Amino acid sequence: MTNPLPLAVLVSGSGTNLQAIIDAIENGRVPAEVRAVVCNRPHALALQRARRHNLPVEVVDHKAFASRESFDERVVALLRDRGVELVCLAGFDRLLSPAFIRGFRDRILNIHPALLPAFPGLHAQRQALDYGVRIAGCTVHLVDEQTDHGPIVIQAAVPVYSDDTLEALTERILAEEHRIYPEAICLFAEGRIRLDGRRVRILNEEPLADRALVNPALG
Ligand code: GRF
């Protein structure tokens, strides 16, 4: 048994990805330990989830800081203090400063509700729907200095239907987020991730059925 990976989850909102991570750790599926849940919004639902599981919660309200840098310094100090080795952004609505990213180089994960590099930025599901793609999805990636840009660890694809609504598509993507984020953390915790430029190599990767996802289905 390897020692559990000490991690922090940074949140701002409803925290359903945080919940998926907590559940996966509690079920023994991910060898990790949540050393801190950091939230920049004092009334976020994510805080209730963390407290319900008796996790160490830190509310760091960005409005109390004069600059992004000073806010980030506080968060980084807190993470260092807790011995955090992996930072998981889970609906965290602040951009990280270069100093933060340097401090945890290749040890910050983010989840984005689109198949990057398509539809980075805000309202990714809306962007996908408006563009008219037939296949959408989500991405877990390492964080670098550009938004929604770093090396990709896992992606999951879902169909977009002709009569889809934003709500239905968002939910379909979110269900996959909850599967792949804990899985990506598990790969990291097991030391199975190697970086080769932009490409992430997964050690002992399971072979996939070599079959395309086609939507609409071929007649
Ligand atoms: C998710 O859609 C995630 O991909 C995006 O923000 C949303 C967070 O949702 N980065 P939740 O707070 O985990 O429910």
Specify the residue with its C-alpha closest to ligand 1, atom 10: 91
Residue 2 has pLDDT above 80, yes or no: no
Q: Residue 7 C-alpha to ligand 1 middle, in angstroms?
A: 18
SS3 of the chain: the string is CCCCEEEEEEECCCCHHHHHHHHHHHCCCCCEEEEEEEECCCCCHHHHHHHHCCCCEEECCHHHCCCHHHHHHHHHHHHHHCCCCEEEECCCCCCCCHHHHHHCCCCEEEEECCCCCCCCCCCHHHHHHHHCCCEEEEEEEECCCCCCCCCEEEEEEEECCCCCCHHHHHHHHHHHHHHHHHHHHHHHHCCCEEEECCEEEECCCCCCCCCCCCCCCCC
Would residue 141 show up in a list of annotated catalytic residues for this protein?
Answer: no
Report the residue among 92, 148, 173, 174 best suited for mutation to probe ligand 1: largest number of ligand atoms under 8 A from its CB: 174
Q: Are 37 and 9 in contact (CB under 8 A)?
A: yes
Q: What's the pLDDT score for residue 204?
A: 96
Mean pLDDT, to the nearest integer, of 68-87?
98
Mean pLDDT, to the nearest integer, of 29-57?
98
Mean pLDDT, to the nearest integer, of 87-106?
98
Q: For the chain, what is the mean pLDDT?
A: 97
CA 114 to chain centre: 12
Q: Residue 69 C-alpha to ligand 1 middle, in angstroms?
A: 24
Instruction: Give the rounded percent of residues in the chain with a pLDDT score beyond 70.
Output: 100
CA 54 to chain centre: 21
Q: Residue 100 C-alpha to ligand 1 middle, in angstroms?
A: 21
Q: What's the pLDDT score for residue 219?
A: 83
Specify the residue with its C-alpha closest to ligand 1, atom 12: 15
pLDDT digits (tens, 9 = 90+) for 105-156: 999 999 999 999 999 999 999 999 999 999 999 999 999 999 999 999 999 9
Residue 1 has pLDDT above 70, yes or no: no
Q: Residue 113 C-alpha to ligand 1 middle, in angstroms?
A: 7
Mean pLDDT, to the nearest integer, of 32-46?
98
Q: What's the pLDDT score for residue 84?
A: 98
Q: What's the pLDDT score for residue 32?
A: 98
Residue 43 has pLDDT above 90, yes or no: yes
Report the residue among 16, 21, 49 best suited for mutation to probe ligand 1: largest number of ligand atoms under 8 A from its CB: 16
Mean pLDDT, to the nearest integer, of 163-170?
98
